[in-house]
Amino acid sequence: MADAGTTSTGEQSHELSTQKGQTSIADAVVTKVAGLAAREVPGVHDLGGGAARAVGSVSQRVGLGDQRSQGVSVEVGQREAAVDLTLVIDYGESIPQVAEAVREQVIKRVEGITGLSVTEVNIGVNDLYFPGEEQPEEETRVS
């Protein structure tokens, strides 16, 4: 029977040991789970502040960024995690209701997937989204 082992990945991660061995989950995983969970909630238009979204958009276009992690900050311990989110919410939605739904969804996903206990989900609403607000795509010069 295989026993437990360790792996050094050179990145931030937390270890979960079971009788069958050691499991390492990178903080990036917790960050992404929280971001994807928040995006599942109706009324959430986007995550991140204006600068983060602008930078994220550019970096994603050049293949460097991952917008799914923008607007999410996590602090991960051995057993617990705390999550900070910055949201853009659709205009007209109830901000308290959307925030509460996001909180519940993030806790459900992070606890269910990673096994960590979520101690807090802090939510900041950074902006409201109005339909038609996006910048139109630049017209291409060639067809």
Partner 1 sequence: MPATERVRLARLAEEAVAATKGVAASVGRTGVWATPDGGRTIPGVVAIALPQGRVEIALHVDAIWPPPPLTRVADTLRDRLVRSAQAAGLGDRLGPVAVSFHDVRAPGEGA
Residues that bind partner 1 (CB under 8 A): 1-7, 9, 11, 13, 16, 18, 20-26, 28-29, 32-33, 36, 68, 109, 112-115
- Whose tokens are 């989900």? That residue is 121
> Helix, strand, or coil here: 32?
helix
Residue 40 CB, nearest distance to partner 1 (Å)?
Answer: 9
Residue 21 CB, nearest distance to partner 1 (Å)?
Answer: 5
As beta bridge partners, residue 15 has 24
Residue 95 CB, nearest distance to partner 1 (Å)?
Answer: 25
Amino acid at 130: F
Residue with smaller CB distance to partner 1, 50 or 115: 115
- Whose tokens are 């602008």? That residue is 54
Using CA atoms, how far apart are residues 116 and 16, in angstroms rounded to an integer? 9
